[in-house]
Structure 1
Amino acid sequence: MSRSTEVALQPAAVAADDLDRAVQLAVAVLREAPPAAWDRKAGSLEWDCWETVEHLSDDLFAYAAQLGPRRPPLEGNVPFVWESRRPGGPANAVHADRAAGPAGLLQVLEASGALLVAMARTTPPKVRAHHVFGVSDPEGFAAMGTVETLVHAYDLAEGLQLSWNPPADVCARVLARLFPDAPEAADPWHTLLWATGRAELPGHPRRTSWRWYGRVQG
């Protein structure tokens, strides 16, 4: 059975609750990290773990912001200023106050996630907004935020030496929504890691480049 047929038989839209669940699970795991560990490199990324949480927070904030205007932009991003605080660091509009420590950093992540959860819940389904991977709808932005959370929590867990194994049902829904080219597999989490260039699958080498497809189908 193809993925498209399976989705047709068992429609399962990505919900704001999926995003909320992913963010809350990620925050709970990241709270276990020792305070001195946040300057470690985050998995295969070039950023440290603190910067990676800032980047994830910025993603969630930016997706919420795209849906915010009465007439969301279809040709570009809402023009916040994104800037890096060091050469090679992530270019963000959102930065956490380092004086607040890891607890404050995770509060920033939780707050940014809550903004996108709220926008995904309250924005009419017919609304469309720009994303570089396709003009999308509230469900699409919720799915994008969920993918960002799941895979960057993986990067962070590698750097902080924590365990991260997100819910298979959430992974399956975001795969169906954003990665129609992904192969069927028994383990949606490992398939999502493959789809985002972080792992191999049997018969499928690790991707050196990747993207999702946020455009609304139909």
Structure 2
Amino acid sequence: MPRSEETSPRPSPVTADDLDLAVRLAVEVLRTASPAAWDGRAGALDWDCWETAEHLSDDLFAYAAQLGPATPPLDGEVPFLWERRRPGGPANAIHADRAAGSAGLLCVLEASGALLVAMVRSASPDTRAYHVFGNADPAGFAAMGIVETLVHTYDMAEGLGLVWDPPADLCTRALARLFRDAPTTTDPWLTLLWATGRAELPGHPRRTTWRWDGTP
């Protein structure tokens, strides 16, 4: 008999190694894309695939930056200047040099991920830093980085014509950390897509708005 949601064992905590794996797998898949495909729309987003990769890089960088100060701010973001390159585009502090091509773009993504991995590994577990979805500890920022990486790689993979099927255990741990109300007996990857408004989940209404809870 399948376990009920109430009796399912709780997954192990999210770690820096989990985040490192998520970024590495994403970059490996994205490297197989045609260089000419990056101007195509990223799934259901209003951004193209290049802009989405920059946005993901910016997310990972921004989470690392929040953990950076000796006393991280708890009432707002570290005040980097985020700006849009076009109306409706993502507001980023991080932009890749177009002259470096898609290889350069993915180098920026990999470097931004490495910054967050390093901060999660080095910060005290007692550290708390600001996020609009709940002030979080390093493990929370690692989980946020994993979710951003998995779902935005999904968006890009749709636009780039790639197959993206991340490990179920990464999805399970990220869901347990950030989406505590998500069902635990459904497919973890499909559940994460449902939790972020990207897919139908049998037996559950599709989400038109969503947010996670980053608090420990």
TM over 0.5: yes
State, as a whole percentage, how many aligned pairs show the same letter.
74
Measure how far apart 1:205 and its partner are: 2.4
8 A contact 2:10–2:176 mirrored in 1: no
Deviation string for 1:137-157 (max 9, x for gaps)?
Answer: 000000000000000000000
Stretches of structure 1 lacking an aligned partner (at least 5 in a row): none
Q: Distance in 2 between matches of 1:201 and 1:133?
A: 23
Q: Distance in 1 between matches of 2:168 and 2:32?
A: 22
Quote the RMSD (CA, aligned, Å): 1.2
Q: Does 1:66 align with 2:71?
A: no
Deviation string for 1:84-129 (max 9, x for gaps)?
Answer: 0001000000000000000000000000000000000010000000
Matching residue of 2:55? 55
Q: Distance in 2 between matches of 1:156 and 1:88?
A: 17
Please give the TM-score of this superposition, normalised by the length of structure 1: 0.95
Matching residue of 1:40? 40
With 146-155 and 185-194 compared, the bigger mean Cα shift is at 185-194
DSSP-derived class of the 1:130 partner: coil
After superposition, residues 148-167 of structure 1 pair within 5 angstroms as: 148-167=148-167
Matching residue of 1:173? 173
Query: Structure 1: which amino acid aligns with 2:133?
Result: F
Please give the TM-score of this superposition, normalised by the length of structure 2: 0.96
After superposition, residues 39-118 of structure 1 pair within 5 angstroms as: 39-118=39-118
Runs of 4+ in 1 over 2 A off after TM superposition: 1-6
Q: Distance in 2 between matches of 1:11 and 1:102?
A: 36
8 A contact 2:72–2:128 mirrored in 1: yes
Q: Distance in 1 between matches of 2:147 and 2:185?
A: 18
DSSP-derived class of the 2:130 partner: coil
With 92-101 and 199-208 compared, the bigger mean Cα shift is at 199-208
Matching residue of 2:14? 14
Label 1:143 to 1:205 Cα distance change in 2 as closer, same or farther (>3 A). same
DSSP-derived class of the 1:156 partner: helix
Matching residue of 1:139? 139
Q: Distance in 2 between matches of 1:61 and 1:5?
A: 37
Measure how far apart 1:2 and its partner are: 6.2
Matching residue of 2:30? 30
Q: Distance in 2 between matches of 1:88 and 1:185?
A: 37
Deviation string for 1:4-47 (max 9, x for gaps)?
Answer: 753xx445000001110000000000001101100000000000
Stretches of structure 2 lacking an aligned partner (at least 5 in a row): none
Size of the aligned set, in residue pairs, is: 214
Matching residue of 1:204? 204
